[in-house]
Amino acid sequence: MNITRGEIRVGRFLIPYRLFGQGNRFMVCVNAAQQTMAAWRPVVTYFSKDYRLLLFDFPGQGRAQIISGSAVVALDEQVEVLHQVLSAQNPPEKSIVAGASWGGIVVAVFASRFPRLVDKIILASFGIRVNEKLVQAIREGQKLNGTATGEQVADIIVKYFGQHLNEAFKQKMYDQFRNIKREHLENFRAHGQLLETTKHINEVVDLHSIKAQTLIINGEMDTVMDLEDVTLAAAQIANCVVKIVPGVGHFLHNESDDVLSIYRAFLALPSERQLSTV
């Protein structure tokens, strides 16, 4: 597999990126909060023959660096990181942009602001409001009063988000958080505060302004996203389809390969859809 590694300076941040594959179509994958590029490994493996896939870490994640200023990274800064990292690759046509969980919020804002850059978007584990289970998770973290270890944070994530992950993936998550930097934990704590104070997605993005073809895909067993909100979100996006995956939780393609097939069906070109029906 072809792999290009690099870094790009975006304002006060140094952002590492990886470009995988050799296909003609271009897809950028946007991490959830405190996930790294590794969370997209199943997608890279599945799509790299037909796509070029751009992955990167946000400030406060993985190997990204905050050169100056606060450890807290605002949503507008995250959107600009996505914009600059994608634009630096100079894709030959509009791109597919996929985001998981909080990454889906970033993608929705990006698609509303830069429609000329976007062909299709995937909003995975997407919600429009902070539900009660998510509030419980945030408050359980807040009770640790900024003294949490990485392992304690991993406990909370597995308890509320990762109940349906296999044991191997859970172990990888614990390994990641045991080695997490203190400033990354602080960034994650601040992210929880932002979620709790942002009552509705319409406070940060006008979903009606998204013109790209959109897939909202959520797991049936995801306890931190309310499925009825998916219908409300889809009604605000002009060209949107919804898929609810049975027996799957918050981590979607890290829980079931069926999710990858749904991605592919949504992304298929008209000629590919015709072939699949022959």
**What are the extents of the domains in the chain?**
3-128+202-276
Each residue's pLDDT tens digit in the chain (278 positions)? Answer: 789 999 999 999 999 999 999 888 999 999 998 789 999 999 999 999 999 999 999 998 889 999 999 888 889 999 999 999 999 998 888 999 999 999 999 999 999 999 999 999 999 999 887 777 877 877 887 777 667 788 888 888 888 888 888 898 888 888 888 887 777 777 777 766 666 666 667 788 899 999 999 999 999 999 888 888 899 999 999 999 999 999 999 999 999 999 999 999 999 977 565 434 33
Query: Do residues 60 and 194 make contact, with C-beta atoms less than 8 angstroms apart?
Result: no
Query: pTM here?
Result: 0.89
**What's the topology of domain 3-128+202-276?**
Rossmann fold (3.40.50)
- 3-state SS record for the chain: CCEEEEEEEECCEEEEEEEECCCCEEEEEECCCCCCHHHHHHHHHHHCCCEEEEEECCCCCCCCEECCCCCCCCHHHHHHHHHHHHHHCCCCCCEEEEEECHHHHHHHHHHHHCHHHEEEEEEECCCCECCHHHHHHHHHHHCCCCCCCHHHHHHHHHHHCCCCCCHHHHHHHHHHHHCCCHHHHHHHHHHHHHHHHCCEHHHCCCHHHCCCEEEEEEECCCCCCCHHHHHHHHHCCCCEEEEEECCCCCCHHHCCCHHHHHHHHHHCCHHHHHHHCC
